Structure 1
Amino acid sequence: MGGGTEHPLARRITDGLEPRAWIVAVALLTGWHAEGAAGVGWGAFAAFFCGVVPMLWIRWGQRHGHWGDRHVRRREDRLIVLPGVIVSVAVCVAGFVLLGAPREVTALVVAMLATVMAILAVTTRWKISVHTAVSSGAVVLLGLSYGPWVLAGYVLVALVGWSRVRLRDHTPAQATAGTALGAAVAGPVFLGLV
C-alpha cells in the first residue's frame, strides 16, 4: 500500500474531500444550526482548532521530512500525527467549556475528539481510513442536526472510499471500517451531549 496508482478523478476526490474540508463544513453548519450567525463564529473557532491547526501540523511535518504528504500514508507516521491532532481538538473542547460555547457545537467537537481517539486506537494495529471516518462522521452529525435527508451525503462518502481504494492508499476493508467507525463513534457521542 502507499505511493498509489495515480488516477486523476480519484486524486481530485481525495484532495477535494479530504478530512479538513469536511471538518470545516460540519463545524460552520453546526454553528449555524445552533445559533445562526453568532454560531458561525463558534463554528469557525472549531474549524480552526479541528481542521486548520491539524493541517498546519501535518504540513510542518511534511516540510521537515517527518512524513511524506498531507494524507500521511504510512501507518507509523499517523501514530505521530494523530496525537498532535488530538491535542489541538482537546484545546478546542477546553476553550468551548471555558467560554460557554453553545451545547450543540461543543457536542460536535467532543464527538470529533472521540472519533480521532478511536482512529488512533485502531491505527496502533491497522491502517484505517481517516478520510472515510471523518466524512462518514460528518454526514451523520449533520443528519442529526438538519434531518435524515442529509444522509444522502453518503454518496460522497462512497466516492471518498472509492478514491482511497483506487489510489491504493487503502483496501476496501480499511475504507469500509473507517466509514463504520465514523458513524458509530461520532453520532452516539453527539447525541449523548446535546
Structure 2
Amino acid sequence: MDTTVTPSLPLRLARLVTEVLSPAVIVPLLSFAVAWYGTAHDVLGTVLWGLLVTVFYCAIPMAIVVRGARGGRWEGHWVRERERRMVPFLLILVSTLVGLALMLVGTAPGDVLALAWSMVVTLLACLVITRWWKVSVHATVAGGALGTIVLLYGPWYLLLVPALALVCWSRVVVEDHTLAQVVVGAVLGPVVGGVVFLALR
C-alpha cells in the first residue's frame, strides 16, 4: 500500500519559488545587470565582468554546497542545518575574495567592484550571524539584489518587492526558516549590501 503523502499546492509552489528565485539564479542576473550599467552598456565588457562575478560568486559557491550535500557533509544544497553552514560559508568567502582580487587586477568598472565588495561584506555579516542564528541567505540575496537594482536603475524597480516577499514566504513554507529569519535577511541584504555598494561605487 502506497502511504506517500502528496505535498500540498502551497508547499509545491514554495519549493518551486525556492529554486526559481534562489541565489543561484538571482546572483548571475544581478551580476550582468550591474556589469551592463557599469560598462555603459558595452556588450563585451558586460559579458566579461558579468561572467567573472557569476563564476566566483555563484558557480563555484554552488559547486561547493552541492558537492558537500552529495558527500553527506550537510543536508541539501541549501545547507539546512545552521551549525553546518560555517564551513561552506568560509569556502565561499575564499571564492569571492579570489574573484575580487581578479577584478582589482583587471581594473573592473567601479559598479562591478562595488557589487563584489557589497557581496563580500554581506557574506561576512551572514557568517557572523550564523554562529548563533540561522538568517535566510535566500532573503538576504534577494533583498540585496533588489536594493542594488533600485540604486542603479531607479525606483520603478521597487515594483519587484512582491518577488522579495514571495522568496520570504517560500522559505517559511518549506520550513527552512522562521518568519523572523527571512525578515532579518530581507533587511540585511539592502542595508548592509546596499550601503556598501552605494559607498564604494
Q: Distance in 2 between matches of 1:124 and 1:148?
A: 35
- The one-letter amino acid of 1:81's match is P
Q: Which residue of 1 aligns with 2:65?
A: 58
Counterpart secondary structure, 1:70: coil
User: Per-residue deviation at 1:182?
Assistant: 0.6
Higher relative contact order (CA 8 A, sep 6+): 1
Q: Does 1:11 align with 2:15?
A: yes
Q: Does 1:115 align with 2:122?
A: yes
Return the match for 1:83 from 90, 93, 104: 90
Q: Which residue of 2 aligns with 1:22?
A: 26
User: Per-residue deviation at 1:62?
Assistant: 1.1
User: Per-residue deviation at 1:153?
Assistant: 1.4
Q: Which moved more, 1:145-154 or 1:54-63?
A: 145-154
Q: Distance in 1 between matches of 2:47 and 2:125?
A: 27
- The one-letter amino acid of 2:16's match is R
User: Per-residue deviation at 1:39?
Assistant: 2.3
Q: How does 1:31-180 map to 2 (within 5 A)?
A: 31-35=35-39, 36=41, 37=43, 38-180=45-187
Counterpart secondary structure, 1:68: coil
Q: Distance in 2 between matches of 1:43 and 1:120?
A: 25
Identity of aligned residues (%): 37
- The one-letter amino acid of 1:87's match is V
Q: Distance in 2 between matches of 1:30 and 1:83?
A: 25
TM-score, L = length of structure 2? 0.92
Q: Would the aligned equivalents of 1:23 and 1:47 in 2 still touch at CA under 8 Å?
A: yes
TM-score, L = length of structure 1? 0.95
The answer for unaligned runs of 5 or more in structure 2 is: 1-6
